[in-house]
Amino acid sequence: MAVDREVIIKALDLAKRMRTILEEKKAGDIVILDVRKQTDLADYFVIATGTSNPHLKAMNEQLIVDLKHDGIPCYRHAGAPEGGWLAIDYVDVLVHLFLESQRAYYALEDLWTGATKVK
């Protein structure tokens, strides 16, 4: 059981590190959702809003560079800034970067209503 607790703590620390990076890049409305009870996709979702396609690209690149520097490589990513949505998979933490219109359309916070928001 100690191993599971250690993994959860590391995933939460990673999600909080991601939030810090996104705050530094001026991301809007950053939310961390604890989705461990709802899905096996990830333990946490980090959701943030960008103001433009270049802003999404900058947030995406900064996350990948800073976390790689921390020794945490990106597992895979999907989407494109031009589409208004990017998903960056770090296995235990899945990051969703949206333009405001795309975030409203996909409404992940509404989809995962059973998830707990991490403060």
Q: What is the DSSP string of 60-81?
A: HHHHHHHHHHTT----EEEEEG
Per-residue burial over 37-46, b if 16 or more Cβ lie within 10 Å, else e, is eeeeebbbbb
Q: Locate the domains of the chain by residue range.
A: 2-118
Which residues have C-beta within 8 Å of that of residue 11, sequence separation ≥ 6? 43, 44, 92, 93
- Indicate the DSSP class of residue 25: T
Q: 67-109, pLDDT tens digit by residue?
A: 999 888 899 999 988 899 999 999 999 999 999 999 999 998 8
The residue type at 61: E
The residue type at 93: V
Superfamily of domain 2-118: Beta Polymerase, domain 2 (3.30.460.10)
Q: Which residue has the higher pLDDT, 10 or 21?
A: 21
pLDDT at 41: 87
pLDDT at 1: 38
Q: 35-71, pLDDT tens digit by residue?
A: 999 888 899 999 999 999 999 999 999 999 999 998 8
pLDDT at 23: 97
Which residues have C-beta within 8 Å of that of residue 68, sequence separation ≥ 6? 74
